[in-house]
Structure 1
């Protein structure tokens, strides 16, 4: 009986012990500024080799709790319909016009509009204007920075199988094609 009480008391105290530790060493404690048109680490990522997709706040700054990116689009393109298994996304349209799809619903967003895309719900977007700019947030971070870097390393257009493989390796799944008009 004493052993049982000891085990129960130990298990009951584990959450208290786990939450009393110091902040992770991966959390930035100093704060910082990222200049307009710049990437947090001066390592800009080009979406499809053309469109800047700059990290403003890195998962490395927030113990993987938040990532903030700024996308500048010079093409009327967007990603395939996909789901994030563990991340919510929030998009804020700074410039231009975009068509977003959340599950089966489509919504047009213009400068100043915001959309919340919950995890595990299929979504995509298409830039409608000649130029556009988005600021978007991923919470928790997941592996988006690594995903974009991996996609940026590809030489030539990837096969659908390779696209799916890279998505799945980074906590996502492609579930349909991009939006077309």
Structure 2
């Protein structure tokens, strides 16, 4: 039953991604494979310094129409409450359990579940299980790859003022703190 649910959800996500790519986009001129544990251009961008958060399909591959990331969680953390000005996000839970907040509504998602997060709506999530894995899509790609590279290259945690500037430069706005399990 879980496998069927996963396949159904994955089909929906892929159909949405395919539709987005066909709309006046130049895509990569040849196919490619990004193996498990690898990043599209060999540059890993761990979230919060530990959890792998790698580009699998770059906005450079899709003429800016789509970016796909894989997140592997080994710690129970998540991003600040934020919004994207010009991007929709689609998350598919591959493994584990996550609590998502979209606007004021909170929803627990498990392996096989998919959630659509519209642009301009504040959202965040936190991993509930000891281990988790997400595949997520941004449409259009925007500057998310650059955002993760910038964050990954910081030598220390940025101040709130610096964090707001970094988010703004990449088409996002921090609205509030991350979710907490405490």
Encode CA deviations 1:39-69: one digit per residue, 9 max, x unaligned: 1111111111111111110000000000000
Q: Deviations over 1:55-90 (max 9, x none)?
A: 110000000000000000111000000000000000
Residue of structure 2 in register with 1:147 after alignment:
147
> Which residue does the alignment assign to 1:95?
95
- Unpaired segments ≥5 residues, structure 1: 1-21
Using the alignment, how far apart are the partners of 1:87 and 1:140 within structure 2? 6
What is the distance in 1 between the residues matched to 2:81 and 2:108? 16
Regions of 4+ moved over 4 Å: none
Partner-residue secondary structure (3-state), 1:51: coil
The structure with the largest alpha-carbon Rg is: 1
Give the structure 1 partner of residue 116 of structure 2.
116
Q: Structure 2 CA distance, aligned partners of 1:71 and 1:162?
A: 24
Alignment match, 2:134 = 134
The 2-side partners of 1:156 and 1:140 are apart by: 30
The TM-score, its normalising length taken from structure 2, stands at 0.85
Q: Tell whether 2:180 aligns with 1:176.
A: no
Number of residue equivalences? 158
Alignment of 1:39-78 (within 5 A): 39-78=39-78
RMSD: 1.2
What is the match of residue 161 of structure 2? Answer: 161
Q: Give ranges in structure 2 of 5+ residues lacking alignment.
A: 1-23
Structure 1 match to 2:79: 79
Say which SS state the counterpart of residue 47 (structure 1) adopts: coil
Query: 2: distance between equivalents of 1:42 and 1:23?
Result: 25
Task: Give 3-state SS (helix, strand or coil) of 2:52's partner.
Answer: strand
